Amino acid sequence: MNPNRYTRQTILKGFGSEGQQKLADAKVLVIGAGGLGVPVLTYLNAMGVGKIGIVDNDTVSITNLHRQVLYGQGDVGQSKVVAALEKLKGQNSDTELVVYHTFLEVKNALEIIQAYDIVVDASDNFPTRYLVNDACVMLQKPFVYGALHGYEGQVSVFNHAGGPTYRCLFPRMPKENEVPNCNEHGVLGIIPGIIGNLQALETIKVITGIGEVLSGKLLIFDGLQQSFRKIKFKLQPKSLQIQKLQDYYEWNDPCEIIPTVEADAIQKLLAEEAQIVDVRTDEEYENYHLPNSIHIPLNDLVANEGSIDFSRPVYLLCQSGKRSEMALRQLREKHPESSLFSILGGLNQYLAACS
Amino acid sequence: MEILLFGIAKDIVGQSEIRISSDDAALHSVQELKDFMVRKFPEFGKLSSFAVAVNSEYAQDDVPLNRNDEIAIIPPVSGG
């Protein structure tokens, strides 16, 4: 390692070579290599964190590139952890990078997390966030939280030095459909960049002990107002009483069977003039849609299901395959005899395969 | 009483803050505020958990409210 590499931060008062050594000795796990994970990984890697683990099982999609700036056009269709690993190695060959080509799940969470000092929750869904919280509480690991909604974001450090946890703020996981995610709601590309960088800063503070860690405080950023607001909150002792992980965190029983078809089958479905129902929003549909598909946004699905012919197979389509699954559940309740399929990976998968 | 709205709460109401005068409603506790929001904006009823802060401090349902308090409604957000 070139001794000059980190001089611009080791000359900082309060940081010094001691701070640098603490970074070099640190083991940080980043869960999610998407909008938040990319800035977190980029800066922790650049600044000299010794060991970084990356957990993700997604592939790079063309719709990721506006905010996930580590990836380029040539990475579309490629595994995120593989693409990230290559870029991060080129950025800093001294870092020990470990990739976990999987989503964080009940069966692997404790084993993966226990090998690290600090966890960064850069995931994009509630089930993973609650799983991260519970596993970190059980293993007594601090975790740096960041999350987005449209032009806004939230940051906090949970379970740090006896401080409060995610469940002290939001005790129960919201129900499915209660709060939309980025796929449905949209996100301005720069916002995860800002929130992820704030997470990286908090991570560095937790490791080195500089400054005041954002523990017991929720930072809310509003990009449109360019405003930061901090809300104080306290530990609720019952949030620490987690003896074991839940059996599952997904909204629905993972053993439930959702009939699916692969996105590769779309060409064939189009040729057969199969009944494809696109459940994305009006804007998404106007931007791009398959020929001859029936369009009913998920929110209006049950009210407008009259335009679906339930005597024929119904192929439900959305951008990533999540909303089509929800649509399938909703329709199945009313039409248990019908033949319903969700298209796996949705248009993202289809377009990635076509390109 | 000034109520700041974040996340999905802002989307439901359609603006980032609202003002409630004592003529509109007399709200004595966080629980009464939550009930008021559900009455006025029925879509709030769908939110099973959102945090409320009074004067920048997280507040449980039984926390009393005063006329000049600044309230923030903070639903959980999940995006990444």
Q: Is A225 within 8 Å of B16 when comparing Cβ atoms?
A: yes
Higher model confidence: residue A258 or residue A156? A156
Q: What percent of chain A has pLDDT over 70?
A: 97
Separation in Å, CA of B59 to nearest CA in chain A: 8
pLDDT digit string (tens) for A227-274? 999 999 999 999 999 999 998 898 766 667 889 999 889 999 999 999
Cβ-in-10-Å burial (0-12, 13-18, 19+) of B25 comes to middle
> Residue A177: closest CA among chain B residues belongs to which residue?
B46
- Supply the mean pLDDT for chain B: 91
State yes or no: pLDDT of B22 exceeds 70.
Answer: yes
State yes or no: pLDDT of A146 exceeds 80.
Answer: yes
CA-CA-CA-CA torsion for A139, A140, A143, A149, nearest 10 degrees?
80
Question: What does the pLDDT average to over A84-96?
Answer: 98
Higher model confidence: residue B48 or residue A143? A143
> Residue B44: closest CA among chain A residues belongs to which residue?
A178
Catalytic residue numbers of A read 182, 318
Residues counted in chain A: 355
Residues of B whose CB is below 8 A from A221 = none
* Confidence tier at A183 by pLDDT (50, 70, 90): low
Question: What does the pLDDT average to over A302-322?
Answer: 93
Q: What is the pairing mode between strands A340-344 and A260-262?
A: parallel
State yes or no: pLDDT of A182 exceeds 60.
Answer: no
Residue B46's pLDDT is 82
Task: Give the highest mean pLDDT range of A132-146, A260-274, B65-79.
Answer: A132-146
In chain A, residues 232-261 whose CB comes closer than 8 Å to chain B: 232-234
Facing A172 at nearest CB: one of B8, B48, B77: B48
> Residue A173: closest CA among chain B residues belongs to which residue?
B49
pLDDT digit string (tens) for A37-77? 999 999 999 999 999 999 999 999 999 999 999 999 999 99
Among A247-251, B11-15, B56-60, the minimum mean pLDDT is found in A247-251
In degrees and rounded to multiples of 5, residue A341 shows phi and psi of -135, 140
**ipTM, 2 dp:** 0.95
Alpha helices by DSSP H, listed for chain A, are: 7-10, 16-25, 37-47, 80-91, 109-113, 126-139, 166-169, 182-185, 190-208, 266-271, 282-287, 322-334, 346-354
- Supply the mean pLDDT for chain A: 94
Gyration radius (Cα) of chain B, Å = 12
Task: Please give the DSSP secondary-structure letter assigned to residue A307.
Answer: G
Cα A330 from Cα A298, distance rounded (Å) = 9
Higher model confidence: residue A258 or residue B65? B65
Q: Is A233 within 8 Å of B79 when comparing Cβ atoms?
A: no
Q: What is the pTM of this model?
A: 0.81
Residue A7's pLDDT is 97
Q: Is A185 within 8 Å of B7 when comparing Cβ atoms?
A: no
Question: What does the pLDDT average to over A200-229?
Answer: 97
Residue A178's pLDDT is 73
Residue A290's pLDDT is 95
Cα A211 from Cα A346, distance rounded (Å) = 45
Q: Is A148 within 8 Å of B57 when comparing Cβ atoms?
A: no
In chain A, residues 200-219 whose CB comes closer than 8 Å to chain B: 218
Higher model confidence: residue A17 or residue A253? A17
Cβ–Cβ < 8 Å for B73, B54? no
State yes or no: pLDDT of B26 exceeds 90.
Answer: no
Separation in Å, CA of B11 to nearest CA in chain A: 10
